[in-house]
């Protein structure tokens, strides 16, 4: 039973436009969320995080929004750049076992020049 | 940022042989490291939590005798796939947390692609 889901396997966006990647979760105990970026043949690299006490966290071009009532989070990238083309994973952990992260299946973002 | 390195990055072996994958934290000490497995187009699945100086904690469904984990030092954890079979072919990734607090940030290795013939 997958507790973190990314229902869009791929997304294509024009350079300069906004990219919106979505993630849904089922476990109401999740209180910490992360987004990772992964290039082919490389390990994931951390992008941005958000805890459940917030509903928005911003870092440069990246903003993560958390809607706890809908159990939904999203990553906004604006403006999108070709170098952003990668697979993006969302992950979540619960306060009672913060070392254990559950990952979504990833969304492959293609930013076209 | 903190660096986690895996070796080898790519390994091909014959069915029935054992393969060892190393995960090193290069510039920080990690009391806890994590091993994941990723099948094509699927999410990273946590296999086990590796604790320095003690036994690893395996996730449900992961065979302890099949996937041996040793965390001998604060900078090194190893995953040994014993008697590998073609169905063990996968991408294996380790991660480690820098620091003790729940910062949430995990640093990942580059991953090791195992192909069992």
User: Residues A62-101: pLDDT tens digits?
Assistant: 999 999 999 999 999 999 999 999 999 999 988 777 677 8
Distance of residue A50 Cα from the nearest chain B Cα, in angstroms? 9
User: Are the beta carbons of B110 and A43 separated by less than 8 Å?
Assistant: yes
By the 10 Å C-beta count (0-12 exposed, 13-18 middle, 19+ buried), A97 is classed as: exposed
Confidence of residue B27 (pLDDT cuts 50, 70, 90): confident
pLDDT of residue B50: 87
Q: Search chain A and give the residue with CA nearest B110.
A: A43
Q: Note whether B65 and B82 are within 8 A (CB).
A: yes
pLDDT of residue A89: 94
pLDDT of residue B102: 54
Distance of residue A48 Cα from the nearest chain B Cα, in angstroms? 9
pLDDT higher than threshold 90 for residue A108: yes
Closest Cβ opposite residue A103 in set B44, B97, B104: B44
Q: Search chain A and give the residue with CA nearest B111.
A: A43
pLDDT higher than threshold 80 for residue A22: yes
Confidence of residue B107 (pLDDT cuts 50, 70, 90): confident
Closest Cβ opposite residue A42 in set B32, B44, B111: B111
Higher pLDDT, A72 or B40: A72
Distance of residue B4 Cα from the nearest chain A Cα, in angstroms? 9
Closest CA to B45 of B62, B22, B69, B68: B62
Rounded-to-integer distance, Cα B94 and Cα A15, Å? 33
pLDDT higher than threshold 70 for residue A18: yes
Confidence of residue A28 (pLDDT cuts 50, 70, 90): very high
pLDDT of residue B105: 67
A105 touches chain B (CB under 8 A): yes
Average pLDDT over residues B16-29: 92
- Write out the residues of chain B at the interface with chain A, using a CB-CB cutoff of 8 A: 4, 6, 9, 32, 34, 36, 41-46, 49, 93, 95, 97, 102, 104-111, 113
Closest CA to B106 of A11, A47, A94: A47
Here the tokens at position B20 are 């060892």
Average pLDDT, whole number, for chain B?
87
Rounded-to-integer distance, Cα B40 and Cα B76, Å? 27
A4 touches chain B (CB under 8 A): yes
């Amino acid at each position: 039973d997958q507790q973190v889901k990314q229902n869009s396997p791929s997304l294509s966006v024009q350079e300069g436009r906004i990219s919106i990647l979505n993630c849904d979760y089922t476990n109401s105990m999740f209180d910490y969320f992360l987004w990772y970026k992964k290039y082919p043949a490389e390990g994931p690299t951390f992008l941005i995080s958000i805890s459940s006490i917030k509903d928005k966290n911003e870092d440069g071009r990246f903003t993560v929004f958390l809607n706890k009532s809908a159990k939904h989070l999203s990553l906004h990238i604006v403006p999108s750049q070709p170098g952003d083309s990668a697979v993006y994973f969302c992950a979540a952990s619960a306060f009672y076992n913060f070392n254990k992260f559950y990952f979504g299946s990833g969304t492959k973002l293609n930013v076209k020049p | 940022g903190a660096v986690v390195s895996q070796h080898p990055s790519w390994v091909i072996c014959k069915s029935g042989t054992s393969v060892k994958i190393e995960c090193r934290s290069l510039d920080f000490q990690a009391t806890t490291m994590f091993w994941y497995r990723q099948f094509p187009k699927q999410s990273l699945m946590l296999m086990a939590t590796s604790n320095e100086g003690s036994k690893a904690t395996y996730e449900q469904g992961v065979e302890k005798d099949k996937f041996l984990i040793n965390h001998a030092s604060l900078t090194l954890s190893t995953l040994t796939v014993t008697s590998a079979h073609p169905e063990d072919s996968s991408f294996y990734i380790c991660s480690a947390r820098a620091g003790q607090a729940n910062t949430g940030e995990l640093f990942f290795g580059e991953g090791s692609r195992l192909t069992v013939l």
